[in-house]
Amino acid sequence: MSLALRTFSSVKDANTALQASGTRYLGGGTLVIRAANEGDVSVSSLIRVDDPGLSRIAVTGDKVRLGASVTMAAIAGHPGLAALAPAARAVGGPAIRNMATVGGNLFAPAPYGDFAAALLALDATVVTDDGEMPVETFLASRDTSRAIVTAVGFSLPGAESFRFLKVSRVKPKGVSVLSIAALLQRTADGTVTSARIALGCMADRPIRALATEKALLGCKLTPQEIAPALAAAGEGISPITDPVASAWYRAQVLPVHLGRLLLS
Amino acid sequence: MAKVPVQFTLNGSEKAEFVESGTTLLHALRDKIGDTSPKGGCHQGTCGACSVIIDGELRLSCLTLAETCNGADIKTTAGLAESGVLHPLQRAFLDAFATQCGFCTPGMIMAAKVLLDRTPNPSREDVVEALSGNICRCTGYEPIIQAVLTAARANSQNAA
């Protein structure tokens, strides 16, 4: 292997170095070193930033800011982030969670990127030196993004309003068949007033279930009332096919698991 | 490719080597330093056979660059036995027939050691979760789970 690694103390200097061709950013290593081990010769140079601020978790009231180098293990173990712990624990086994970062998960291709699906449901903001943008916009343009992600920010959901499900064939941990993150606001009688639902493995990156979100408005979470929302779950999806499941299978089981999550 | 110096503590001993930039910790440990207890299985972060403990945390040496470990405290299964006496986890794996081909065993033992260091009396679910990043193609896992639970009991009896 011939990978030149350079370490910078500031994101600004690293951003400049990242513009060179063949250069990738090294976070936890679970994507880029994996690619290099697999023989991806497009990677010739790595850069990283050792600014401790990138590993900081800040919870102020209901506002959360996660540095891009915060690991899944750090999120899963943080007492103020219990609502997100199931999504962080869904990533890999213990060793991977000690390495995999928030920033890296935003770039993880399906079937990976379960945590990014949670961030999409939470309408998180992605922060770079160039400014901030909604995670939905970021995900759509991530292939051409050349600015280092420094943090993500979002409002902490209430325990009742945020739900997350990862489906895998191997228990307790396996690659995603699919993942679903749902942020639901409901009135006292249980009527849905807003819904934001993100799906993993239903495209090459997390996407929103826009038709389902719309169909859920005004519904109570009963089998009868959510039936139209489940029927709409397939709109706009383009599931991946991999050794774990075919696109057809993923599309078939999506409404089943979405229904279970909504009725749970 | 220029070589870079790496220096860390491996199982209590200071190690210093020059490695090519981009060398994984797994490669440095096995082919430079001669500690072949971490195994190169998938090199993709999937199998867990290369698991080592870095500064108290379980990590995958195949996805870790050696030069990012400067100053770190690294532990591998090769350093567990003391004066020829096996660590309780190693003894339990032998007694429970939790080792068949043995390829996954060092990674399993590292994952189990981190668990028992933090949770001396784990539940079966704790053990299953702790080993969830390590694949075994021989045992069907049950002997391994039993070995970890047995080692935990042995530890708590010794401590009592």
CA distance B138 to chain A (A): 16
Search chain A and give the residue with CA nearest B66. Answer: A5
Are residues B75 and B115 located together in one domain of the fold?
Answer: no
Q: Does B91 touch chain A (CB under 8 A)?
A: no
Are residues B108 and B52 located together in one domain of the fold?
Answer: no
Question: What is the residue range of B130's domain?
Answer: 88-159
Query: Can you give the pLDDT of all 264 residues of chain A as single tens digits?
Result: 578 999 999 999 999 999 999 999 999 999 999 999 999 999 999 999 999 999 999 999 999 999 999 999 999 999 999 999 999 999 999 999 999 999 999 999 999 999 999 999 999 999 999 999 999 999 999 999 889 999 999 999 987 899 999 999 988 888 999 999 999 999 999 999 999 999 999 999 999 999 999 999 999 999 999 999 999 999 999 999 999 999 999 999 999 999 999 999
A185 forms bridges with which residues in the sheet? Answer: A194
Are residues B127 and B64 located together in one domain of the fold?
Answer: no
Distances (CA, A) of A151 to A129, A223, A237: 10, 39, 28
The count of structural domains within chain B is 2
Give dist(CA B73, CA B56) in Å, integer: 8
Q: Where are the domains of chain A?
A: 4-49, 52-155, 162-263
Are residues B66 and B120 located together in one domain of the fold?
Answer: no
Query: What is the reported pTM?
Result: 0.95
Tens-digit pLDDT profile for residues A146-194: 899 999 999 999 878 999 999 999 888 889 999 999 999 999 999 999 9
Q: Are strands A4-8 and A23-25 parallel, antiparallel or unpaired?
A: unpaired
Give dist(CA A163, CA B43) in Å, integer: 33
A193 close to A185: Cβ distance less than 8 angstroms: yes
Q: Provide ipTM, 2 decimals.
A: 0.95
Last residue of a domain, one of B41, B61, B79: B79
Residue B99 has a CB neighbour count (10 Å cut-off) of 21
Are residues B7 and B57 located together in one domain of the fold?
Answer: yes
Q: Is B71 exposed, middle or buried (0-12, 13-18, 19+ CB in 10 A)?
A: exposed
Tens-digit pLDDT profile for residues B35-88: 999 999 999 999 999 999 999 999 999 999 999 999 999 999 999 999 999 999
| Cβ within 8 Å, pair A2-B134 | no
| Cβ within 8 Å, pair A94-B67 | no
Query: Could you tell me the CATH number of the domain that includes residue B92?
Result: 1.10.150.120
Of B21, B60, B130, the CB nearest to A99: B60
A169 close to A177: Cβ distance less than 8 angstroms: yes
Search chain A and give the residue with CA nearest B44. Answer: A34
Instruction: Determine the topology of domain A52-155 in CATH.
Output: 3.30.465
| Cβ within 8 Å, pair B63-A73 | no
Are residues B16 and B66 located together in one domain of the fold?
Answer: yes
Distances (CA, A) of B111 to A94, B54, B58, B136, B143: 8, 12, 6, 13, 15
Q: Which residues of B touch A38 (CB under 8 A)?
A: 43-44
| Cβ within 8 Å, pair A1-B57 | no
Amino acid A51 reads: D
Give dist(CA A28, CA A107) in Å, integer: 12
Are residues B71 and B23 located together in one domain of the fold?
Answer: yes
| Sequence-ordered list of residues with C-beta below 8 angstroms from that of A95, at least 6 positions apart, any chain | B45, B48, B51, B58, B59, B60, B111, B133
Q: Indicate the class that CATH gives domain A162-263.
A: alpha beta
Q: Does A86 touch chain B (CB under 8 A)?
A: no
Query: Could you tell me the CATH number of the domain that includes residue B52?
Result: 3.10.20.30
Last residue of a domain, one of B19, B51, B79: B79
Are residues B154 and B103 located together in one domain of the fold?
Answer: yes
Q: Which residues of B touch A46 (CB under 8 A)?
A: 22, 65
Are residues B104 and B75 located together in one domain of the fold?
Answer: no
| Sequence-ordered list of residues with C-beta below 8 angstroms from that of A149, at least 6 positions apart, any chain | A68, A103, A106, A126, A127, A128, A138
